[in-house]
Amino acid sequence: MKVRLFKGATMQDLNTEFIQRVRETHGGERYVITTHGCQMNEHDSEKIKTLLDTMGLIETDDEEQADFSIINTCSVRHSAEDKVIGHIGRLKHVKKTNKKLKVAVCGCMMQRKESRDYVLETFPHVNIVFGTNNIYRLPQLILENDDRNTRIVDIEESYSNLDNRIFSEVKGNSAYVNIIYGCNNFCTYCIVPYTRGREISRSPEDIIEEIQALVADGVNEVTLLGQNVNSYGNTLEEKTSFADLLRRVHEIEGIERIQFTTSHPKDMSDDLISCYGELPKLANFLHLPVQAGSNRVLKAMNRHYTREDYFLLIDKLRAVRPDIALSTDIMVGFPGETEEDFEDTLDLVRRVRYDSAFTFIYSRREGTRADRMENQVPKEVKDARFQRLLDEIYRIQREKYEALIGTEQDVLFDSRSKNDETMMSGRTNGFKLVHVPYEEDSIGKIRKVKIVGGNTFSLRGEIVHGNK
């Protein structure tokens, strides 16, 4: 594994002296990382893994035998925090038999003071606590914990560009690249602006340099990450829009497919939509969270668009790319949601006909405005509506997948199938999962595949030999 240095960084920035000292004292020890939450958290865990590998530690999946257990937390929903709390609690018993175990807790929960204080007061067996903005300091925090033999808490409230100078050596052909941090939207149900902070965009030069380095390591597909990629560039001195950035990434030789997540509908510009007509490398797929189909609920959520605005965006997108695949986020049971509101959501789902959707039952999140709202929807009502929503989404999704049987699709293969080593898996340009018989020389490449079968969640295919 390598720790890369981008322009303007120094060896001291990345604490290479501390990295070497940790290697001398902990080299050969084992670590396990558990990641809760979104792609941003997954990418943060990749940075942590890169640092630990560089310090000579060895990854394991056996937490009971590990010397370090790092828990990267999510606080977007109360249920996510409950899972983290349960995990930390279980490690107390592991530590009784494994005296060497050091427990580090990081991520969004630790950026939130109430959650951080609860962990610190409840779990004395936690050794190190750090946040989303200072991953680069992990080597130093490990040494401080060694030297002082006491708990180390290190939280930075504002984002540091130094973290972007660390990323993983690639094991495969795909990579995440952060382009913007934080969020300015303050949706009434969401805690992210309080944990990830306000929006700040990375410079396009740093992003391009990182992607070029990833290409040199074998990457040909990148996913650009942010809480709201559509507002990229607003904090830059030299005005650069997200559409401008996409065009620059598209020019990078070696990149064959570009994706991004997540988009906010209120910031989906006509210029960005036009990229789907201009840029062949831009995947035929868009994740565009709608959250609800009722204007009354959307207003209560502070989403700043109406269902009519959303339908207009879909019409514009399909005018540019008629077969674009769409996914979304939908929340059921937001405070005050009536049966009529929910029927509006079902109507929107039927009209847009999503290829896939991430669906959630609203859960109260302390610190958000929605938590203080009246007319909280009873659990049994939320559960029943959630099942009705799933039934509708899965019906449409199944129809979409079945319609592809007999067609030929360009599929980018990235790995063996997790459940069957005789098969390999990849994604179509519309982000649909495809399984075909394993061929070693197809991993990391785009192949033409004839779709021969499928179900609600994946497709089966055969490579059309002689084509790429």
Per mean pLDDT, which range of 1-15, 70-84, 415-429 is the poorest? 1-15
Question: Token pair for residue 198?
Answer: 């306000």
Q: How far apart are CA 44 and CA 111, in angstroms?
A: 14
User: Within 10 A of 302 (CB to CB), how many other CB atoms are there?
Assistant: 14
Report the pLDDT value the prediction gives residue 7, as an integer from 0 to 100: 42
Q: Is 190 annotated as a binding residue?
A: yes
At 234-253, the pLDDT tens digits run 999 988 999 999 999 999 99
Is 0.95 topped by the overall pTM?
no
For the chain, which domains are there? 16-154 (3.40.50.12160), 162-403 (3.80.30.20), 407-463 (2.40.50.140)
Q: How far apart are CA 186 and CA 201, in angstroms?
A: 18
> Shortest CA distance to 423 belongs to which of 388, 458, 393, 386?
458
At 291-325, the pLDDT tens digits run 999 999 999 999 999 999 999 999 999 999 999 99
Q: Is 74 annotated as a binding residue?
A: yes
- Averaged pLDDT score across all residues of the chain: 91
At 365-413, the pLDDT tens digits run 888 899 999 999 999 999 999 999 999 999 999 999 999 999 999 999 9
Task: Report the pLDDT averaged over residues 29-44.
Answer: 90
Report the pLDDT value the prediction gives residue 456, as an integer from 0 to 100: 86
Half-sphere exposure (Cβ direction) of 182: Cα atoms closer than 13 Å:
18
> Shortest CA distance to 334 belongs to which of 384, 375, 289, 303?
375
Q: Is 187 annotated as a binding residue?
A: yes
Question: Token pair for residue 53?
Answer: 């590998």
